[in-house]
Amino acid sequence: MSKRNKEAEVTVAVGQMEPSFGAIETNVTRSITLMEKAAAKGANLMVLPELCNTGYVFQTRAEARSLAELIPAGSSTEAWCRAANRLGMHLVAGIVERDGEKLYNSAVILGPDGVIGRYRKMHLWGDEVLYFSPGNLGFPVFDTPLGRISCHICYDCWFPECFRLSALQGAEIICVPTNWVPIPGQDPKSQAMANILVMAAAHSNSVFVAAADRIGTERGQPFIGQSLIAGHSGWPVAGPASQDKEEVLIATVNLADARRNAFNQVLRDRRIDTYGEMLGSRHTPDWY
């Protein structure tokens, strides 16, 4: 990075880990160890995997409910808040959220001063529909001292609308807690489909994307790792990580680069006069 482009410099980390199913205290302790490793390398924003405090493969709704927590009053969120305060770090982490009778596959967004907000997974994958309600908060963008942060979870990345809606609201970095699984027909020696989607979305929306995946096999379901941080041009600035090792990836980026009006800028150059009401928006972000 050139010395002159540091006006919104952030050191981003993604923590790739293997949760132990149902062992909330153990998983949170492990995740805080990853936070400490990242902070020691200068990270001030970290992303952890989807449902990283509980594990993923539920067998009954009652089991999912027994592991669900309130936000911000749950033990996991409170422990992460204490760690974030001690380390001076912002964090995005996946959690089972309980809200009345409903359960959500959620992510909590927090900083040194406490909880900033939450995101509820909009697109449920596979058996998730048996346990969770679809997200009902849209695609919020959170103003933080580091920059404008948005969040998606796993299968949301298969829907380009998610990235576009976050980008149009001014998101500079999209944090993705995820539990990617093997895709039928995928050559295990080639780039994961999920990585291709994330890189393409970063490129076509001029946003940074930090995706934290898990590893291991849980109740017969394998997970593929390969976490990565994509720059606003789409190319990885850290990773992809391995398929089977716990890792912390680190990249120092300038979030202001996501908003620069270069000769061509994909959001500015949209032909919204031709897309129609169903596909386009007549709103152009005020920061262009």
Hey, which residues does 90 pair with through a beta bridge? Answer: 45
Output 140-146 pairs: Cβ under 8 A, ≥24 positions apart: 141/166, 141/169, 141/170, 141/171, 142/109, 142/116, 142/117, 144/90, 144/111, 144/116, 145/111, 146/8, 146/10, 146/44, 146/45, 146/90, 146/255
Cα–Cα distance for residue pair 122/136, rounded to 1 Å: 7
If one counts every other C-beta atom within 10 angstroms of the C-beta of residue 217, the result is 11
| Beta carbons of 228 and 275 less than 8 angstroms apart | no
For residues 192 and 200, is the Cβ–Cβ distance under 8 A?
no
Q: Which residues are catalytic?
A: 50, 121, 154
Give the number of other Cβ atoms within 10 Å of residue 20's Cβ: 14
Q: Please give the Cα distance from 31 to 25 (Å, whole number).
A: 10
